[in-house]
Amino acid sequence: MLGALALGAGGSALASDSPSLSPCDLNAGPGFRCGRITVPAVRADPSLGDQSIFFAVLPRERAAKPPVGTIVAVEGGPGYASTNYDSAKSYRAVFGPLLRRRDLVLIDQRGTGHSQAVDCPQLQRGMVPEVVATASCANQLGARYQGFTSAESAADIEAVRTALGLGPITLYGDSYGTLLAQAYSVRYPASLSSMVLSSAYPADDPFWRTIYPAAMQALKLSCARSSSCRARAASLCGGKRLRCSWDGEQRFRHALARIQRTGGPLNGTLAYLLEAGTWSPNSYLALNRAVTEYLAGDSDRLDHIAREGRPGDGDFHYFSTGMGTAVECNDYPVAWDRTADFAQRTAQLDQATAAFPRRRLFAPLTVAQWMTLPSTGFTGCLSWPAPTPQMQPPVPQGATQPAGLPLLVLSGEFDDITTVKEAREVAARYPSSRLRIVPNRGHASDLYYPYRSPAVGWIRRFVAGH
């Protein structure tokens, strides 16, 4: 029990009826204390039971001095838990000196980590087609599928804040956590003192048409800025082969075209590309090398990149594919009417694909290939249940974000998961926002490189000033 632990802004302490906090080991350094609250699984229908929400609190280092604020962090995915050991370590490293006078709260979103993690085995193991596994997961969840939305998770954050007796918080979200943070800020603006969005996602395009062009640009620039990449291309290409261009983007497009002709690992190669933003720039340089060797006649490295790893997503407590799928299918935009049946949805997707205006956007892939490859993940939600009237979108239509909220939006220059263009869209929704582009870095670089990313210093200065 920590009945006297001071938390929050303005010296506020735990409320008298706050949840009990007990010492816990997150494998992320000493000092964490954990607790949980219980909320409705679906707030609009309490008959569907309860949902447990787990959280961890790291009290400020200088307990004798009054607190100057509380930082609340929520992970992305969707499907990752904020109290995962590597996430918790990264948060601790990113916020660093801010934690001398600020408390840190990490919340496992419903369905992740210790918040009743969703285990849908067929999705988690990746052993059956996604559209089949998605239907199986929905059947497993039953009517509780309605509860896996950003709106419900935003209400969970507010419930934890209230239970701990906190004043206005600094909310940090990364990747999908930025969409959750947007859902929170539009509903609970008075509960916020500031907000940080790392790799912001606007959730406004069912075709994800910014991803592939961003990846092509990153492939091109990462090699152009690397002397070893340029030298390798020059050595293997000889400077004369049309299909072994000096340009990293053109080499990749030529490689994809050849893979299509020869029956090579198209899906695996594209899957690697679409995740390359995470470990940028090294991931793009590795792909550049593999593609260059492939065009020069050696396919071993590309085969390894395209086929490495095993099926599935590992422990569902670490990353819940079922929870991630539920949130994506409930909240993310789709190219069909969610109230239609499966056959109608499929026909509508075909119509949207045929009507797509930019036919060469994904070249040498066609729009139909882009929409149906497993690596792009567009078709899984075709089998998800229709929404019910009580379910809310992340940001309701017509809602506006708080005008005076201090906001820092961060985007990696080479992020092809949530792109710079998307970050600009999100920043534009907040009149008091500040956008910073992290050069030569990719997705949520502050978390993946907490000791090297320039984003870390920007975060610390921003939070310290608000």
> Which uninterrupted H or E stretch holds 56?
strand 50-58
**Poorest-pLDDT segment among 21-35, 197-211, 232-246, 295-309:** 232-246
295 touches 243 (CB < 8 A):
yes
Comparing 33 with 247, the larger pLDDT belongs to 33
Whole-number pLDDT of residue 13: 41
Domain-embedded: residue 3: no
Is residue 373 domain-shared with residue 455, that is, in the same domain? no
Eight-class DSSP state of 191: G
Give residue 359's pLDDT band: very low, low, confident or very high (50, 70, 90).
Answer: confident
Whole-number pLDDT of residue 366: 92
Taking the CB of residue 237, how many other CB atoms lie within 10 A of it? 18
Domain-embedded: residue 382: no
Domain-embedded: residue 90: yes
Domain-embedded: residue 369: yes
What's the whole-number mean pLDDT along residues 93-97? 98
Whole-number pLDDT of residue 393: 97
What's the whole-number mean pLDDT along residues 124-151? 96
**Domain hosting residue 52, numbered range:** 9-203+392-464
Write the pLDDT tens digit of every residue in 289-348.
999 999 989 999 999 999 865 567 899 999 999 999 999 999 999 999 999 999 999 999
Q: What is the DSSP string of 208-256?
A: -TTHHHHHHHHHHHHHHT-HHHHHHHHHHHTTT-TTS-SSHHHHHHHHH
Is residue 228 domain-shared with residue 190, that is, in the same domain? no
Is residue 221 domain-shared with residue 350, that is, in the same domain? yes
Number of domains the chain contains:
2
Is residue 406 domain-shared with residue 441, that is, in the same domain? yes
Write the pLDDT tens digit of every residue in 447-459.
999 999 999 999 9
HSE, CB side, 13 Å, CA atoms: give it for residue 256.
23
Write the pLDDT tens digit of every residue in 399-456.
999 999 999 999 999 999 999 999 999 999 999 999 999 999 999 999 999 999 999 9
Is residue 240 domain-shared with residue 180, that is, in the same domain? no
Give residue 140's pLDDT band: very low, low, confident or very high (50, 70, 90).
Answer: very high
Taking 80 as the threshold, does the pLDDT of residue 107 lie above it?
A: yes
Is residue 244 domain-shared with residue 198, that is, in the same domain? no
Whole-number pLDDT of residue 38: 97
Domain-embedded: residue 188: yes
> Which uninterrupted H or E stretch holds 372?
helix 367-372
Whole-number pLDDT of residue 448: 95
Is residue 144 domain-shared with residue 89, that is, in the same domain? yes
What's the whole-number mean pLDDT along residues 37-42? 98
Write the pLDDT tens digit of every residue in 362-396.
999 999 998 888 888 889 999 999 999 999 999 99
Question: pTM of this prediction?
Answer: 0.94
Taking 60 as the threshold, does the pLDDT of residue 257 lie above it?
A: yes
Whole-number pLDDT of residue 311: 66
Taking 60 as the threshold, does the pLDDT of residue 10 lie above it?
A: no
Give residue 57's pLDDT band: very low, low, confident or very high (50, 70, 90).
Answer: very high
Domain-embedded: residue 326: no
Comparing 137 with 372, the larger pLDDT belongs to 137
Whole-number pLDDT of residue 8: 40
Whole-number pLDDT of residue 11: 40
Is residue 231 domain-shared with residue 280, that is, in the same domain? yes
Whole-number pLDDT of residue 247: 87
Q: Is the bond into 396 cis (omega within 30 degrees of 0)?
A: no
Whole-number pLDDT of residue 157: 98
Taking 50 as the threshold, does the pLDDT of residue 144 lie above it?
A: yes
What's the whole-number mean pLDDT along residues 81-88? 97
Whole-number pLDDT of residue 16: 39
What's the whole-number mean pLDDT along residues 53-69? 95
Is residue 182 domain-shared with residue 154, that is, in the same domain? yes
Q: Kindly report the CATH number assigned to the domain that includes residue 176.
A: 3.40.50.1820
Write the pLDDT tens digit of every residue in 170-226.
999 999 999 999 999 999 999 999 999 999 999 999 999 999 999 999 999 999 999
